[in-house]
Amino acid sequence: MIAIKLWNFIKGYVIIKIEGLSIEKFLNLIMVNDVYIWDIERKNYTTVVAKVSLKGFKEIVSFAKKTSCRVSVISKRGLPFVISRLKRRKSLVFGAVVSIILIYVFSTFIWEINIETVNNVNEKMVLEKLSHLGLKPGVSKFAIDVNKIETEFLLQNNDISWVGINIKGTNAFVKVVGKTKPQEVLSKDEPCNIIAKKDGIIYKMTVLEGEAIKKVGDTVKAGDIIVTGIIEKPGLETRFVHADGQIIARTWYEVYADAELKKEVFERTNNKITVTKIIFGNNTITISPKKVDFKNFEKEEKEIISKGFPIRIIKEVYYETKPKTIVLSREEAKNVAFEKALKELEKVLGPQSKILNKKESYVIIQDKILRANITVEVLEDIGMKEKISYIGGEN
């Protein structure tokens, strides 16, 4: 049915109104002559509305005269009439084509960067660092290397444990996880609160000291006070205690990792050149059977006599390498990407974390990269003790 409708749209058809006292005779003539007519609807005793192809309409005009019926066109439908209308509106067509081209061009740029941070990472700092590395609004998606930016970002920021960049449409979604700072060890007589060190939903609470101001099922943000060390009771003097307990919460993590479907690697050939260097003082004697003229090579260096001696002998081996293109199947790329993603996940999960649910998915980016995505729901202790600092200000 859909194929027939599509064919009729391509060829074009008209909706007609048939009026007369011999409509049945008119319709019989149409069918006898194999003219395709459809969606016949009787409006009243002398009027019928139907659809007919352009070719069929030309044929039924003569049948109308034979049966004393009158046929009129209500509307024209289909591709031929659309093209005809567009030919009369060339400026509109030109504008539409230009608009489509502009939409496509603009869709190849990144216009918005969405930042999600974990463990109190400064969003403004992340935006500035990403901009310096080339990821900023207005940049072409083809001009950025996600893997390179992620690597450089981690190398330049020692307090970041993981960063993931995902390009969707004209948006870049960036998630940054800061390293968990070692919790300050407080003495048992030092007043403190228990705060959330990351976002989550409280699953279980065990309060040994202090007063809980959150309960099981509550959603908390990093920095929220869960158990306070300030005990205030009506008619009693305010007490300051060392809050203690365990806060187990449901938290969520999402990690990404990429695997190239096609990449170039360099493999060693059987050709190699060994160079020996004898160093004494500021003088160096190089002994080599021939010049190292490999276009691509790998170098291995070994010191035969250590620096403790007045003379040093160093052996350098140059291995010729040649480029080779490796093509991974989708299944192989999935295995590589998910293995890398799991290693990234291990970096952000604590040793006592318990995974409740895990969801895996992947996308192919520009037929070059397979990006694996792992989302996990975790049970972990999110409680962190924080000294009630303003007490010292009152002393």
pLDDT tens digit string along 302-335? 877 655 556 777 888 999 999 988 888 989 999 9
Tokens of 394: 């009152």
The neighbour count for residue 121, using CB atoms within 10 Å, is: 21
Q: State the pLDDT at residue 362.
A: 92
Q: State the pLDDT at residue 218.
A: 95
Q: Answer with the residue of higher pLDDT: 284 or 127.
A: 127
Mean of the per-residue pLDDT values of the chain: 84
pLDDT tens digit string along 1-58? 566 667 777 778 889 888 888 888 888 888 888 888 888 888 888 888 988 888 888 8
Q: Answer with the residue of higher pLDDT: 270 or 94.
A: 270
Q: State the pLDDT at residue 34.
A: 81
Q: State the pLDDT at residue 146.
A: 86
pLDDT tens digit string along 234-285? 888 888 899 999 999 999 998 889 998 888 888 999 999 988 887 776 778 8
| Residue 245 parent element (H or E) | strand 244-260
pLDDT level of residue 377 (50, 70, 90 thresholds): very high
Average pLDDT for residues 210-219, to the nearest whole number?
A: 94
Residue burial 39-53, b: 16+ Cβ < 10 Å; e: rest: eeeeeeeeebebbbb
Q: Which span out of 78-92, 210-224, 309-323 was modeled with the highest average pLDDT?
A: 210-224
Average pLDDT for residues 352-369, to the nearest whole number?
A: 89
Q: State the pLDDT at residue 391.
A: 45
CB 324 within 8 A of CB 267: yes
pTM of the entire predicted model: 0.45
pLDDT level of residue 180 (50, 70, 90 thresholds): low
CA distance 191 to 389: 9
Q: State the pLDDT at residue 43.
A: 85
Residue reference for tokens 């859909």 = 2
Q: Answer with the residue of higher pLDDT: 142 or 175.
A: 175
Residue 191, classed as helix, strand or coil, is: coil
CB 369 within 8 A of CB 286: no
Task: Provide φ and ψ at 392, rounded to 5°.
Answer: -60, -25
Average pLDDT for residues 371-387, to the nearest whole number?
A: 92
CA distance 245 to 318: 61
Percent of the chain whose predicted confidence (pLDDT) is above 70? 90
CB 253 within 8 A of CB 349: yes
CA dihedral 151, 154, 155, 161 (to 10 degrees): -130
Average pLDDT for residues 64-88, to the nearest whole number?
A: 80
Please give the C-alpha separations between residue 199 and each of 111, 306, 346, 350, in angstroms, as whole numbers.
28, 54, 18, 14
**DSSP notation for 246-259:** EEEEEEEEEEEEEE
Question: β-strand 219-220 against 262-280: which pairing, if any?
Answer: unpaired
CA distance 191 to 211: 12
Average pLDDT for residues 220-242, to the nearest whole number?
A: 89
H helices of the chain, in order, are: 2-11, 23-32, 54-66, 79-87, 90-107, 123-133, 146-156, 330-348, 390-394
